[in-house]
Structure 1
Amino acid sequence: MRLAFISDIHGNSIGLDAVLEDIEARGGVDATYFLGDYVAIGPDPVNVLRRIRQVPNAAFIRGNTDRYLYEGAFPPPSLEDAAQDPEMVPVVVEVYSGFCWTQGAIAHFDERDADPLYWMHWLEALPMEMRLTLPDGTRVLLVHARPGYDDGVEGLYPDMSDEDVAALFVGHDADCIIVGHTHWQLECRVKGVHIINPGSVGNPKGTPLAKYALLEADENGYEINLHQVAFDIQAVLDQLVQVRHPAPHYIQTFYSDNGKKQA
């Protein structure tokens, strides 16, 4: 059994295509699991949705930004935060304009359905988590941020202590938990639980490469391999200009020299 895990595409169809091509070049997989945050706030949200729906044997859970879109909500900072701290006003403007732009982009007639809110309804129907059992009996939990949550500041980050990781990820009837949300490609084992973040395709932390994970499993056990794939960053930046994206700065930071130094 070979499985792929992909997370945090964030409207980057160019990075997604690079990952899907890399998976095929490695021999393909039996199934692909997508861990949420598909479209906000990148330059090509509709084509990301179309591409992932075409992937054979694919399964999907939702991320926090997917929920924000169909609820008409926004991530922090809030208008109340900006009222207390005027320096937050430009951030609020960028966040709100970026999410509103994405909402407008995916409120789009789909050729398979006459409903102009087809993609909104599709996102809304996604489950928050999913469970798998590998051939050796390993119990796998898939969730975007951490068990029971699709958002929040808590998740799998570099340099977390074992105690902090255990507080979030141990005790959830799972031997292996695969998450996204923080955009860091990581794995660790704490108190018998294997926690994996495949990293982000669209807005990666650390190296500016599209990231994903492959799992190979049989009756004797399983192995996880974390992969990183180069893609045409300039083409993504050009798309931001071409689509007149109202909030390009946040996306650009993931491909700046400062972003590369985070590794």
Structure 2
Amino acid sequence: MKLMFISDIHGSAHWLSRALDKVHEEQADQIVMLGDFLYHGPRNPLPDGYNPGQAAEMLNKYKEKIVAVRGNCDAEVDQMLIEFPIMADYTMILHEGRRIYATHGHGYSMEHLPPLMENDVFIQGHTHIPVADRKEGVYLLNPGSIALPKENYPHSYGILFGDEFIVKDFDGGTVKRISFGS
């Protein structure tokens, strides 16, 4: 099963449209959304194509394929527009025998991990900075942001297929990559 990870849309219909095109191109079986769906937040500029209503409509067309968690910019009013659950602080995914803890990153984070076992995967958004690393036996991942990347990284998303996680930019380049050892 191929999972696509999207984070930090912040209401950008433009970048969400490009990400949804990548869902088809990548032939992703499931989309894991790591929060910050509609609102840009008080610390962020307006992203390209800022249109939260349109972004909600676009997401709703994929509701059967989406697993989602709440970001720090998401609120109950956003859930009124989005037709799949977005208010969970985290979700656990079992992928090919590996446990994945997915969250936005404003509660538990790479600096403050939940209880995990060796070889588990922790994935977050929130920082808008891609990560593919292993620390103290736990795989640490972040797909970056599709709409508002930081630290001169490109707009990006993540793909998990088999035993490899790849952060990709929208031109097909690899930003970060890690393989999970057996």
Where on the TM-score scale, by shorter chain, does this alignment land: which range?
0.7 to 0.9
* Cα displacement string for residues 63-113 of structure 1 (whole angstroms, at most 9, x for unaligned residues): 01103xx4xxxxxxxxxxxxxxxxxxxxxxxxxxxxxxxx7xx6xxxxxxx
* CA distance in structure 1 between the partners assigned to 2:33 and 2:67 by the alignment: 6
Q: Equivalent of 2:165, from 210, 216, 224?
A: 224
Shift of 1:33: 0.7
Matched pairs, number: 161
Q: Equivalent of 2:143, from 198, 209, 215?
A: 198
Say which SS state the counterpart of residue 20 (structure 1) adopts.
Answer: helix
Are 2:104 and 1:144 equivalent residues in the alignment?
A: yes
Report the RMSD for the aligned CA atoms in angstroms.
2.5
AA of the residue aligned to 2:91: M
The 1:207–1:229 alpha-carbon spacing in structure 2 relative to 1, beyond 3 Å, is: farther
- Going by fraction, where is helix more abundant, 1 or 2? 1
Shift of 1:209: 3.3
TM-score by length of 1: 0.55
1:170-181 equivalent positions in 2, closer than 5 A = 171-173=115-117, 175-181=120-126
AA of the residue aligned to 1:30: D
* CA distance in structure 1 between the partners assigned to 2:161 and 2:95 by the alignment: 10
AA of the residue aligned to 1:57: K
* CA distance in structure 2 between the partners assigned to 1:3 and 1:58 by the alignment: 10
Alignment match, 1:188: 133
Larger radius of gyration: 1
TM-score by length of 2: 0.78
The 1:6–1:125 alpha-carbon spacing in structure 2 relative to 1, beyond 3 Å, is: closer
The 1:123–1:181 alpha-carbon spacing in structure 2 relative to 1, beyond 3 Å, is: farther
Say which SS state the counterpart of residue 14 (structure 1) adopts.
Answer: helix
1:149-164 equivalent positions in 2, closer than 5 A = 149=107, 155-156=109-110
List runs of 5+ in structure 1 lacking aligned partners.
71-102, 107-116, 157-164, 231-263
- Going by fraction, where is strand more abundant, 1 or 2? 2
Alignment match, 1:13: 13
AA of the residue aligned to 1:58: I
Alignment match, 1:132: 93
